[in-house]
Amino acid sequence: MGNSRGARKLARTPHVNQKKKKMSDGNQIVPLAPANSYQRSDEEYATIQHKALRPKRSGKCFIYSLALIVILSAIILVFAIIVKPRTPRVKLSSVAVEHLSYGDNPIPSFNMSLAAEVSVKNSNFVCFKFENTSSSALYKGMVVGEAKLRSGRVGARKTRRMNIVVKIRSSGSLSEAKNLSSDINSGMLKMYSYAKLKGDVRLFGTVKNRTAVMSCGMNLNLSSRSIQDLECN
């Protein structure tokens, strides 16, 4: 009996050992995958991130390029405004009547001197040089007096003032002009002053010719011996 029981135990022992062995095999630790698989996933992530950032960089480049174009256009516009040569303006700033005499007996006539101040305004960023010229006084479209204007220069963004004296003498042909007698009797003579200044401005070694024209109208009040309603174009 005792021997038979011992034999049964021995017979069961291998079976149990096999089960334990199977259980131990089931709990066996599986080695980790090689690190190369994670490197590949990192590279793919970096590639995806680079592609995602590319549109943002492209958008920034477009904005920077557009801003640069706008800035350059503004600089060119300002430069063109500054450099573009302009024609100076000439006008009579003031006119005073001196040594006036007039009458209509035996023929209508008038004589006087006009002390005038001529101003030349140069709006260029470079100086304006002008040649010798003359200023004329007219009545009824006829020249009744002249004064010389000497050559000179006007500084950049400056105004030059010159004093001239125009001697006016009515001629025989003017005495026959229509309505001269009635104008004298009315006490008011409509007169004009005209001048043309030829000159040039120099921009970066390039000479640009400019001609400034003065055209002014005025009323001569014979009673007050003064100029009224002086206007220049």
175 located within any domain: yes
153 located within any domain: yes
146 located within any domain: yes
**How many structural domains is the chain composed of?**
1
DSSP type of residue 34: P
7 located within any domain: no
CATH of residue 133's domain is 2.60.40.10
**Rounded-to-integer distance, Cα 77 and Cα 71, Å:** 10
Calculate the alpha carbon distances from 193 to 90, 117, 149 in Å: 11, 12, 13
Q: How many other CB atoms are found less than 10 A from the CB of residue 109?
A: 19
Tally the C-alpha atoms within 13 A of residue 65's C-alpha that lie toward its C-beta.
Answer: 6
Q: pLDDT tens, 67-83?
A: 889 998 888 777 666 67
**For residues 93 and 161, is the Cβ–Cβ distance under 8 A?**
yes
80 located within any domain: no
Q: What is the 3-state secondary structure (H, E, C) of 113-136?
A: EEEEEEEEECCCCCCEEECCEEEE
17 located within any domain: no
Residue 56 in tokens: 């943002």
**Rounded-to-integer distance, Cα 155 and Cα 196, Å:** 19
- What's the pLDDT at 52? 54
**Rounded-to-integer distance, Cα 111 and Cα 102, Å:** 6
Domain of residue 104, residue span:
89-232
- What's the pLDDT at 81? 66
- What's the pLDDT at 85? 87
Q: How many other CB atoms are found less than 10 A from the CB of residue 217?
A: 15
Q: Is 230 left (phi over 0), alpha (psi -120 to 50) or beta?
A: beta
- What's the pLDDT at 214? 97
Block means of pLDDT (10 residues each) for the chain, length 233 residues?
49 50 50 50 56 61 87 79 85 97 88 97 94 95 94 96 95 68 92 96 87 97 96 93
**CB within 8 A of 18, min separation 6: which ones?**
none
Residue closest to 90 by CA, chosen among 25, 135, 49: 135
144 located within any domain: yes
| CA atoms 174, 180, 185, 191: torsion sign | negative
- What's the pLDDT at 34? 53
**For residues 158 and 122, is the Cβ–Cβ distance under 8 A?**
yes
Which amino acid is present at 14?
A: P
- What's the pLDDT at 46? 55
